[in-house]
Every structure is written in C-alpha cells, then in structure tokens.
Structure 1
C-alpha cells in the first residue's frame, strides 16, 4: 500500500514541478479551436451520412419500381 501512496505522491510532485503548464489565454484559445473543429467534423459526418442514406434510399426505390 505504501508503494501506491508513494507513486501518487511522486506523480503529483512531477506535475507540480516539472510540467510546463500553458497560460490561461492559450488554454482558452485552443479550447475554442478544438470546439470549432469538433462542430465542423460533426457536421461533415452528418452531411455524409445524410447523403448516403438518401442515395441508398433512392437506389432501393429505383430497384423496387
């Protein structure tokens, strides 16, 4: 059990002393960039799905007729 406590303690010490954390303004800017690209990617995925759904529906309606 002491090994686990020691590991967690050393991990927090590493994060506190040796990790270079970005400035708050940079964090905000990069968060906005990620959010915008996530929305764009989601819309592109939705558009592709709708296109193929309508294409396949039209194809199967054409086959039935």
Structure 2
C-alpha cells in the first residue's frame, strides 16, 4: 500500500514541479489544430468507407445476376 501512496506522491511532484505546461493561448491553438485534423481525417475515412461500400454492393449485384 505504501508503494501506491509513494507513486501518487511522486507523480504529483513531477506534474507540479517538472512539467512545462503550455500557455492558454497555445493550448487553444493546438486544440483547434487537433479538431481540424480530426474532422479532415473523419471525412477521409467516411469517403473511403462510402466508396468501398458502393464497390461491395456492386460486386454482390454482379455476383447475384
């Protein structure tokens, strides 16, 4: 049990004294950047999924006839 308490204490000390936190403006800018790339990536996946879905549908129509 002392090991867990020691781990939490050291983790807190590390976060408080040794981590360089970004400024609010930088965090906002990076959050917007992540949002934009997430939207672009999700649209790309949606497009590929749609194309492959249509291809599979056409394949099964072709096989069925």
Q: Same fold (TM over 0.5)?
A: yes
4+ runs deviating over 2 angstroms: 62-65
CA RMSD of superposed structures (Å): 1.2
TM-score (norm 2): 0.87
TM-score (norm 1): 0.87
Q: For 2:35 and 2:10, how far apart are their aligned partners in 1?
A: 33
How many residues are aligned here?
65
Contiguous gaps of at least 5 residues in structure 2: none
Contiguous gaps of at least 5 residues in structure 1: none
